[in-house]
């Protein structure tokens, strides 16, 4: 059996043998065939069965439930979507507020499900702290971000500025310049959620087949090494593994995020740091840092990873010493008392990035294809909305979910924007990331002259513009 427990801290903590479910050994005819037993596939199956229990549904998974990003992420359950500002900008004010409320409600709806299904996944809705730290430019960028949120019709009940003193009441970081608090985010144990959700859909009558990679798929059909499945609907729920299912790799770029976890820290250390209510936290740099205090008192901390030429999946997530040390440097800049703390786990995962740098939920009724993806590292919450939405689209339910600007019902796969060919993708991605690293190093150095700081910010801003 593959060493699935070594995938991440989360999978290691499950306390189960992770024995695989049976593989697909015989042909099937079902109403809905789902490729992938991660969040998107499982949420889609869950809501289909909730609304239409008579449907026959089979999930075909290449490894085991939670093998992909669902068992490897940072444990943020976010009530928002990547690029939501651009997606909602053109809507009338009342409709935009309605959409924001839909997004903000994601953590509460997930809580309803885990309560109903008895899934113990360390859910805590403590909100999130976006901190201005390390250098003053972070305060400038955060205040600008807050102003843009208020311009979109949000208010202090959604996002509130915290002075350094107010921030210190929740998290005590080195060199604080202030921050933003939002209540619309929860933290959880992602592997416990995905494994519990898999058991829940099985109880509802969904068939899950593991260790059954799909080698071919098309409308109404998929094939594994030993069997084939015919269905009215096919849902390829593969996100960061889209390039394993042509032609989906044209539209989804696999990039990596890398995470470390400390050994459980003593209460005295947490008394110094704070985070006593399950808050998630981040600092406002383009390194995309994120962290949480786990239920067993570890610090879990991640930052942006990389991209491999040709869209190759990264399969070896034994992090290098440099990859680990960068994350140690970033979190110890926030918490100097953790500079020499022991790191017990280090891991990463592949996530999907769409060319438009925003999620999509697509339904092609003529072909019988439904898919959601492009979550860009914010998939714990976005996948829940994606699964709910795909279920409504398949069942033709007239709901608020299906009337959102990220929902595509015309043009099939052609409605998605393709990525440029190599080497353009690799060169572009690495140029962008290098500009972000240069900016961060320049701004973090208090001796950098003003002209260099300004140049670094402008360069990174221009490069970030290519991601919109």
- Asked if residue 42 lies in contact with residue 201, where contact means CB atoms within 8 angstroms, the answer is yes
DSSP lists the bridge partners of residue 133 as 176
The per-residue pLDDT for 2 is 65
Nearest to 400 by CA among 386, 389, 384, 391: 389
Phi, psi (deg, nearest 5) at residue 263: -65, 160
Residue with tokens 């992770």: 18
β-pairing verdict for 128-133 and 280-283: parallel
Alpha helices of 396-449 — where are they, by DSSP H?
424-444
Q: 75 and 126 in contact (C-beta within 8 Å)?
A: no
Distance, in Å, from the CA atom of 336 to the CA atom of 348, rounded to the nearest integer, reads 24
CA 76 to chain centre: 8
DSSP assignment letter at 466:
T
Say how many residues make up the chain. 468
Instruction: Give yes or no for a contact between 49 and 381, defined as CB atoms under 8 angstroms apart.
Output: no
Give residues with Cβ within 8 angstroms of 320, minimum separation 6.
none
Pairing of strands 228-236, 57-60: unpaired
Q: Which two tokens stand for residue 337?
A: 């008392």
Q: Is 394 within 8 Å of 48 (Cβ atoms)?
A: yes
Alpha helix ranges (H) inside 37-180: 39-51, 84-88, 93-104, 106-117, 137-151, 164-168
Q: The dihedral of CA 396, 80, 244, 67: what is its sign? A: negative
Residue pLDDT tens, the chain, 468 long: 468 999 999 999 998 888 999 999 999 999 999 999 999 999 999 999 999 999 999 999 999 999 999 999 999 999 999 999 999 998 999 999 999 999 999 999 999 999 999 999 999 999 999 999 999 999 999 999 999 999 999 999 999 999 999 999 999 999 999 999 999 999 999 999 999 999 999 999 999 999 999 999 999 999 999 999 999 999 999 999 999 999 999 999 999 999 999 999 999 999 999 999 999 999 999 988 999 999 999 999 999 888 999 889 999 999 999 999 999 999 999 999 999 999 999 999 999 999 999 999 999 999 999 999 999 999 999 999 999 999 999 999 999 999 999 999 999 999 999 999 999 999 998 999 999 999 999 999 999 999 999 999 999 999 998 887
Global model pTM greater than 0.75:
yes
Map tokens 């005590």 to a residue: 172
The secondary structure of residue 8, as a DSSP letter, is -
Radius of gyration of the chain from its Cα atoms, rounded to whole angstroms: 22
| 183 in Cβ contact with 127 (< 8 Å) | yes
Q: How far apart are the first and last CA of the chain?
A: 42
Name 303's Cβ contacts closer than 8 Å, sequence gap at least 6. Answer: 257, 258, 287, 288, 289, 290, 326, 327, 330
Q: How far apart are CA 198 and CA 195, in angstroms?
A: 5
Structure tokens at 447: 């001796």
| Residue 292 Cα to chain centre, angstroms | 15
Tokens representing 206?
């969904």
The per-residue pLDDT for 255 is: 93
pLDDT for res 305: 83
Alpha-carbon distance of 128 to 77, in angstroms, equals 10
Instruction: Give the H/E segment covering residue 233.
Output: strand 228-236
The C-alpha angle 339, 342, 348, rounded to 5 degrees, equals 95
């Amino acid at each position: 059996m593959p060493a699935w427990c070594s995938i991440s801290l989360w999978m290691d903590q499950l306390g189960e043998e992770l024995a695989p479910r049976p593989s697909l050994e015989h042909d099937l005819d079902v109403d809905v065939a789902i490729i992938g037993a991660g969040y998107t596939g499982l949420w889609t199956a869950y809501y289909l069965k909730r609304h239409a229990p008579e449907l026959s549904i089979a999930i075909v998974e290449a490894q085991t439930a939670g093998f992909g990003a669902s068992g490897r992420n940072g444990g943020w359950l976010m009530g928002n979507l990547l690029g939501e500002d651009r997606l909602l900008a053109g809507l009338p004010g009342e409709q935009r507020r309605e959409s924001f409320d839909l997004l903000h409600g994601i953590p509460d709806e997930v809580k309803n499900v885990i309560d109903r299904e008895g899934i113990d996944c360390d859910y805590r809705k403590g909100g999130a702290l976006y901190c201005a730290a390390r250098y003053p430019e972070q305060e400038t960028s955060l205040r600008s971000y807050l102003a843009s949120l208020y311009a979109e019709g949000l208010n202090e009940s959604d996002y509130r500025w915290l002075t350094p003193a107010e921030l210190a009441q929740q998290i005590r970081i080195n060199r604080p310049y202030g921050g933003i608090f939002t209540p619309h985010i929860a933290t959880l144990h992602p592997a416990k959620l995905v494994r519990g959700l898999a058991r829940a859909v099985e109880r509802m009558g969904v068939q899950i087949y593991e260790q059954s990679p799909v080698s071919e798929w098309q409308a109404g059909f998929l094939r594994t090494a030993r069997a084939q499945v015919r269905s009215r609907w096919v849902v390829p729920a593969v996100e960061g593994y889209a390039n394993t299912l042509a032609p989906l790799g044209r539209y989804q770029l696999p990039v990596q995020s890398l995470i470390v976890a400390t050994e459980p820290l003593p209460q005295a250390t947490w008394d110094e740091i704070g985070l006593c209510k399950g808050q998630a936290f981040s600092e406002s740099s383009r390194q995309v840092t994120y962290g949480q205090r786990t239920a067993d008192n570890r610090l879990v901390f991640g930052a942006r990873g990389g991209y491999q030429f040709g869209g190759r999946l990264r399969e070896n997530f034994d992090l290098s010493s440099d990859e680990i040390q960068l994350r140690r440097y970033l979190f110890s800049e926030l918490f100097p008392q953790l500079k020499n703390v022991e790191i017990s786990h280090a891991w990463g995962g592949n996530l999907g990035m769409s060319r438009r740098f925003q999620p999509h939920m697509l339904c092609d009724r003529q072909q019988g294809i439904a898919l959601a993806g492009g979550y860009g590292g914010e998939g714990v919450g976005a996948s829940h909305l994606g699964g709910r939405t795909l279920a409504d689209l398949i069942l033709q339910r007239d709901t608020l979910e299906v009337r959102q600007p990220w929902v595509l019902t015309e043009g099939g796969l052609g409605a998605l924007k393709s990525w440029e060919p190599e080497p353009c993708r690799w060169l572009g991605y690495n140029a962008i990331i290098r500009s972000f690293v240069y900016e961060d190093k320049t701004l973090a150095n208090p001796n950098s002259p003003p002209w260099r700081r300004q140049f670094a910010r402008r360069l990174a801003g221009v490069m970030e513009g290519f991601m919109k």
